[in-house]
Each structure stands twice: as structure tokens, then as C-alpha cells.
Amino acid sequence: MRALSWFNPKPPDLSLRVPKHVPKRVVPSEIGADGLVLNYLMHHGSGRMLRDYSGNRFHGSINACEWLDGSWGWGLTFNGSSYVDVPTGASLANLTNWTVMAWVIPQTVHVGTIYGEANTTTDTPLLAIQLTDWPPGDRLRVAHRDDGGTIIGLNLGTYSAGERFHLAVTKEGDVYTIYKNGVSLGSGSQTIGATTIDNIKLGVLRRTSPTDYFQGLCTLLLTFSRTLPPSEINLYFQRTRSLFEI
């Protein structure tokens, strides 16, 4: 690494150039795409920083996650106590419209957080995209609770350990929708107020104590400050499905 000096106190920023070996037809989003907040294309396969290719430079800090080299592409493994710190400037919790999507392979069936925003001084406010093992079956979940305690907890679909799938959640006004593999599983509605968060994590929900760690693999995570329509959700599913193969 290039030595630092008194007149150049900061190391070079992480490159935002998409890796050359990623085919253009499957690149998840070009830098500066409409409403793009995070583009964690987990394709660099090394290092302790997770590059944000959105152009916003919300690079994540990797804590005990490990890189997995697939037959095609890389992924980031979460062991049930590891996580990624995300800059709070990427927060979605107080936006009217947003979208989160990810490719995941859960190792076990349990309550695990793919994307979580929370507050370390109180357990009340949160925004969490999760997998659950709650009755009546194993579900894909979005939970959003504001400072006053009003909550929506939407649990839809099913999943199994070792299954690779594309998960997407959208919010449009008061309506929350969950998608699996490009297909809507259903929606729910709730008016949610101000949600004060002080941290964003991948792999854990960090409230007054860390809870709901994810165990498994993630190969891509994107967030947007707009609601992607069903056709665009399906397009992202189709375009990114070949980014990683075990």
C-alpha cells in the first residue's frame, strides 16, 4: 500500500470500477442508476471492506465475514456472529419509498437479518429485512417499527436451508411488498412515523444488544430510494441470477 505522508493523510479511495470479468449484461446497476443508494456487488473476493459500486461511496466494513470463491463469482459468508457495518448515510428508514434486494443462501432455518437498521440506545425503532423460523412456517420477513412503537411485520412465502434465492422488499407510501425470485408474494399496509436509527448492518440487527444474526451466504445487495415496479424487480432477478454459482 502506498505510504501516507503529512501532506497526503488519506489512503486512496476504493475503486468503483466494476470488475472486468463481470459480463456487462449481468452487472446489477451502473453507477448513478436512478435512485440507487447501495450497490454491494460482492465480486472483488478479498479485503476487509465491502465496495459500494453505486457511486455514493457507502463502503461497508467487514467484521469476521469470509469470502467464498464459487465456480463463478464470489460471495460473503456470515457465520452467525459476523456482520458488515454500513454508513448511516445509506439509511432508508425515513424515506417514503424504497427497495432492498439481495441474493442469499441461508445455511440454516432461523431468524436471521439480511439488512437491518436500528438504534443502540433503544429497542423500539427498527427496519429489518429478515428470514424467520416462526410458525406457521419459514418465512421471508420485513419489519418496520417507528419511535412510537407502531409496527408492520409482514411474513410471507417459504424458504429452506441451502436454497439460493433472490429476495426483494419494496415500500411505496404505506404499502410494503415482498418478492421471491422476481414474483410478488403479497403486500401489507401500515402508516409508519419517524424512525430514529444510529446504525445499519448486514447480517445482524444491532439494537441495545445484537440479535438475529444471519447464517449463510450473500452474493449481492442493492438498495434504492424509490419503489421498483414488479417488472423491474423481475428484470433484476433475471439479470443477476448468473452472478454466482457454487
Domain ranges of the chain: 39-240
Of 133, 135, 144, 147, nearest in space to 175 by CA: 144
The CB-based long-range contact list for 3-6 (8 Å cut-off, 24+ gap) reads none
Q: Which residue has the higher pLDDT, 7 or 97?
A: 97
Whether 246 and 71 have beta carbons less than 8 Å apart is answered as: yes
Report the chain's mean pLDDT, rounded to a whole number. 89
For the chain, what is the total number of helices (H) and then of strands (E)? 1, 18
pLDDT, position 80: 96
Q: Which of 103-112, 167-176, 196-205 bottoms out in mean pLDDT, i.e. has the lowest?
A: 103-112
| DSSP assigned state of 197 | -
Q: Read off the pLDDT of residues 58-100 as tens digits, 9 standing for 90 and up.
A: 999 999 999 998 877 789 999 999 999 999 999 999 999 999 9
DSSP letter string, 75-144: EEEEESS-EEEE-GGG--TT-SEEEEEEEEEESSSS-EEEEEEE-TT-SS-EEEEEE---TTS--EEEEE
pLDDT, position 1: 42
Predicted TM-score (pTM) of this structure: 0.89
Fold of 39-240: Jelly Rolls (2.60.120)
Q: Read off the pLDDT of residues 31-48 as tens digits, 9 standing for 90 and up.
A: 567 999 999 988 888 899
